[in-house]
Structure 1
Amino acid sequence: MNPQLLDLLWTSLLETLLMVSVAGLAAVLVGVPLGVALTVTDARGMLPRPVFNRVLGVIVNATRSVPFVILLVAIIPLTRLIAGTSIGTRAAIVPLALAAIPFMARVAENAMREVDRGLITAARAMGGTPMQIIVKVLLPEALPSVIAATTVTLVSLIGYSAMAGAIGGGGLGDLAIRYGYQRFMPDVMLIVVLVLIVLVQAVQSLGDWLVRRLSHR
């Protein structure tokens, strides 16, 4: 591979990392609170709000049901409003985040449902407020599972980012399509695939290590 393509590969990798990290951060900052809301407002939760829980659940499920490629196209007006453009790395972050948030909300909800209800009952018996129980019991106990869920979300985002790149979102997917496919350079396609595999393995290994560390505590 010539130096120009190496520079393009490095730039594309940085674009992919930017897309995945920003969208992943948005997924955690918005998805985890949504997961908390879904958990505590359930009929058996600390603050049962069946109607609110049902409406929120429908919205989350509806967003998750839309295939990512369709979501990319469907929210172009919103993408332009937020990012100022509908193409490029900055624009791709918007649909990536919107795809990751409901996914993160559901996996975070499942993680928090695994917390021993006896701990929550004991905390309530000791006079803990719902917010105190969420912050000091629910989230710390669910943290290893939430980290595992975040790892799965990031791995999914790497795949989605390559898909976004294929239709003008930049990153490794864009490089693979423009050079590997359109210019008939299979070596570029192979290198991009290998880089994506290494990236996924690195994220998964880091996530697994964090889960083991937190679980031991």
Structure 2
Amino acid sequence: MKHVVFLGLLSAVLTLTGCDLFGPKEAPPKPAKHFEPGYGQSIERPLGTPFTWPAGLVLLGRPTYDGCVEDPRTEAHWGNGDAVMLCLNLYNTTSQPIKLDLPPGLMFISDDNRAQNGLVINLISVEVPPGQHLYVLHSHCANLGRGGSGPEYTYDPRPVVTQHPQMQDLLRLLATKKINFEHYGGAYFSPARNFGGTVQRAVHRIAEAETIEPELLRELEALPAR
């Protein structure tokens, strides 16, 4: 009888204290994140619509970063962001300027999975004069944790336009924002450098299969409009 009473008291104590007679239970595992191909921790090739360079405009070599920010031959800076900067050596084979539109969502794919893929976040629209010209393309990191662009990394000269659904929402939000270097004359030291951090945080959240917090969303909406 005493044994039964003791077990009853023990059970009551454990219930009141929230203890488990058989030890703590393990928390259920969190569901694994789903990364879109080429984003976050994915090492797959990004999916998207292949980009076609305009007729008469040739991209010489594979895009890379080789210090062209400081190169006196550099004619202008395009885009937004400093995580993935690529030197585009373009040759206009015609006698007339060629309009080049790099659409939002254009993704330059690293040849090495140790380097970040670069995402163009806003429309870049420029005219390339006849002859050879060197430009710096600024884009955002799609892979948190990988290395930035550097002279040891090259990129596929055949970029694609991403179809990532949540990233498309971000691109639409930023479509009317004045955040690109060419919006401020194409100079490296310009207001465009001030906006890259905010945009990059948003890109990382989406690339890492996370949502954009309300405070960050307000910062994005407050970026200057064109």
When normalised by structure 1's length, the TM-score is 0.26
When normalised by structure 2's length, the TM-score is 0.25
Larger radius of gyration: 2
The structure with more helix, counted as a fraction of residues: 1
The structure with more strand, counted as a fraction of residues: 2
